[in-house]
Amino acid sequence: MQIITAVLGSLAILSTAVSAQSAPGTGGPDAAPFDFGTPSGTFAGVRSTAPNGPTNPRRPSLGTPINQTSLARLASVNSIDDWCTFGPPRTGEPIGNIEAEAVAYCTKPRNNARVIPDGTLTAVHFVRTPLYVQVMAFGDFTKIGVMDGDDGGELDPHGATGQGNPVGGNVTSNVTGTDVFYEEWMNFVSYNQVCIRICTAASNVVSAAVQCEHELDIMGCQFVMPGNYNPGQWESCEGDAAYPPGYYPQPGGSTSRFRQFFVGSYVAGGETITYTNGAEDQVTPTAAFSIPATSSCTTVATIANGIASLVSTTTTTTTAAPSSSGLSTTRSSSSSRSTSSGSSGNTGAAVAQLTQVGGGAWKSAAVLAAAAFIGAAVLA
């Protein structure tokens, strides 16, 4: 296996709970930007062909009734003050256990979804790139039902059965000037951080599915969706597109691809299916290859919807699940859950063997150092 020398330092898996990304990326501050070719919003695999979920409105719209028990699962990402995330439908359970049932929460009344109460968010970074639109936010997401201390879960349109997590979840964006349903997206949610990316274009160099990679659940927001994670700041920017998650340029024009390694199982149609992701020959990178540049940034003091009744009636969770590692507790690409723990061991150290515990689909791992760099010449 090809080893990237820039990441041969100590293991440092990034998490959704880390408040800021301090390193510029393994490629260094002068890393060349991603050359993604000529993107198009009508390229194959960009616009959604999936049916709209049965609990969703036919089209995204603002000004829908406020309903904090809604089961709508249509999330839109349009601007710094008009976006949605998926979150738990009820309190008291780790989000990793109920990803298939997650519902949409939006900053404004829209899409028949639940509304994020004022006072939840403490920082929001919105960026529009030629390939995707992305939100990175900090706050107290116990106000939308995430358990205190829960390092969270990863939502995407795939899941174990291909029906998505959540099942019936759809996404839209109007950054092109009109509302469009998009095929590929990813959303990390924890008690104190949320990030969501919707892939709005693709090219003959990179597909929407690759740019919205959904198999790096344990790596967290900063690794999978690099950008500005400075807390306490509210900004909206144009930006370069990041290298696809897990891709690292190599001399000669090829790339190496990182895949987190685990063995797991899930039940479909009464049958237990075991799978292996990645390979045992591994090294875990310390960061994404680079943090894409931004420009034309504007800042605001905060964002708010002004709905006072939501602030006064918001109920937070009563069951805490604190994490000493600060790492993500999330779902795998095949809808298994995994709990990672911090490690200062050497890269290429022990392989993580994930086994099912308890009655749910949770997985446990002693060390998440296992991953694989798979040589690839094309990002397709």
Using DSSP bridges, classify how beta strands 255-260 and 371-376 pair: parallel, antiparallel or unpaired.
Answer: antiparallel
Separation in Å, CA 233 to CA 80, 236, 283: 12, 10, 34
pTM of the model: 0.76
**Cα diameter, the chain:** 59
Please report the pLDDT score of residue 140 as a whole number.
Answer: 97
Please report the pLDDT score of residue 266 as a whole number.
Answer: 66
Q: pLDDT tens, position by position, for the chain (380 residues)? A: 222 222 222 223 333 333 334 346 778 778 889 999 999 999 999 999 988 999 999 999 999 999 999 999 999 999 999 999 999 999 999 998 999 999 999 999 999 999 999 999 999 999 999 999 999 999 999 999 999 999 888 999 997 677 889 999 999 999 999 999 999 999 999 999 999 999 999 999 999 999 998 878 778 899 999 999 999 899 999 999 999 998 888 888 888 887 777 676 667 778 887 877 666 766 778 788 899 999 999 999 999 999 999 985 544 433 333 332 223 333 333 333 333 322 233 322 222 222 222 222 222 232 233 333 333 333 44
What is the domain range of residue 215? Answer: 5-376
HSE of 157, CA atoms in CB hemisphere, 13 A = 27
Q: How many domains does the chain have?
A: 1
Q: Sort 108 into a burial class: Cβ within 10 Å, 0-12 / 13-18 / 19+.
A: buried
Closest CA to 117 of 105, 126, 127: 105
* Contact present, 343 and 368 (Cβ < 8 Å): yes
Residues 6+ apart with CB under 8 A from 85: 75, 104, 105, 116, 135, 137, 144, 187, 189, 194, 196
Cα dihedral sign for 46, 226, 328, 261?
positive
Separation in Å, CA 156 to CA 84, 159, 259, 263: 14, 7, 17, 20
Please report the pLDDT score of residue 234 as a whole number.
Answer: 98
Closest CA to 71 of 92, 94, 54: 54
Looking up tokens 């929001």 gives 124
DSSP letter, residue 209: H
